[in-house]
Amino acid sequence: MTNTHDELADAFREKRIVVGVTGGVAAYKTCALVSRLSQAGAIVTPILTESAARFVSPLTFEALAASPVYTSMWERIEAHDPQHIAIARRASAMVVAPCTMNCLAQLAMGLASDVVTLVASAIDRARTPLLLAPAMNAVMWRQPATQRNIASLRDDGFAFIGPDEGWQACRTVGPGRMAEPDTILHALAGLLR
C-alpha cells in the first residue's frame, strides 16, 4: 500500500459519503469516483437524477457502491421517513459530480425538484461538507447567470472543485470539463480532515 492509499483510507474509512449524480455526460467519470471511495472504505450512497440515469445505469452505481441507489424523491428504499432527511443526517460529506448548470441554478435558488437537490438542501453545511464538481460546455460555464450562481453558492458555504479546462463532449476545448475523479477524491478527503 502506498502512502496516498493509506491517507485516503484514513480519510474515508467508515465515512458515509453521499454521491449525487446529475444529467451530464461526465457522469461516466463518477463511476470511478464511487469505486475509489468504496475501495478507500467509505460507505457510499449514490443518488441519481432521472437525467443522470439516462447516461449511466443506476445498476452500475449499485454494483460499485455495494449499496442501494436512490433515483426518486418518492421511492422508499429504507423504512426511514422522510428519506432525504435520514440520508442527509447520516452523511459525513456529500459530493455532486457532475454538477450541471441546471443543478447549480436550482441549488442557488433553493429549489429541491429532484432527489439530488432535495438531499443537498437537507445537508447541514455547518457540520457536513458539500462539494460541487461542475461540468458543462464552456459557453454555459461563462454565462453570467452561472457565475452569479457560483458566487452565491460559495457565499452559502458550498465547496467547489474545478471545472478543468480541456476537451469537451461538444467537440470544443475550454473551461467546464469536470475535475478528474482522483482530484475530486483528494478534495473531498481534504474537506473531511
The CATH code of the domain that includes 34 is: 3.40.50.1950
pLDDT for 152-186, tens place per residue? Answer: 999 999 999 999 998 788 788 888 999 999 999 99
Residues in the chain with pLDDT values less than 50: 1
| pLDDT of amino acid 82 | 66
Is position 179 within any domain? Answer: yes
Q: Output the pLDDT for position 77.
A: 64
Would residue 4 count as lying in a domain?
no
User: Contact 88/128 with Cβ under 8 angstroms?
Assistant: yes
Instruction: Let me know if residue 3 belongs to a domain.
Output: no
- Contacts of 128 by beta carbon, 8 Å cutoff, 6+ apart: 88, 91, 92, 93, 94
| Tally of CA atoms within 13 A in the half-sphere of 86 that contains its CB | 11
Please confirm whether the linkage preceding 98 is cis (ω < 30° from 0): yes
Q: Is residue 5 part of a domain?
A: no
Q: Is 120 within the bounds of a domain?
A: yes
Is residue 51 assigned to a domain?
Answer: yes
As annotated, the active-site residues are: 170
Helices (H) and strands (E) in the chain, counts: 10, 7
> What was the pLDDT predicted at 1?
43
* Total of domains in the chain: 1
State residue 162's pLDDT score: 94
Its pTM stands at: 0.93
- Does residue 143 sit within a domain? yes
Does residue 6 form part of some domain?
no
- State the helix-helix crossing angle for 101-109 and 115-122, rounded to 10 degrees: 40
Residue 125: which domain range? Answer: 12-192
Q: Which residues contact 159 (CB under 8 A, 6 or more apart)?
A: 129, 130, 131, 132, 187, 191
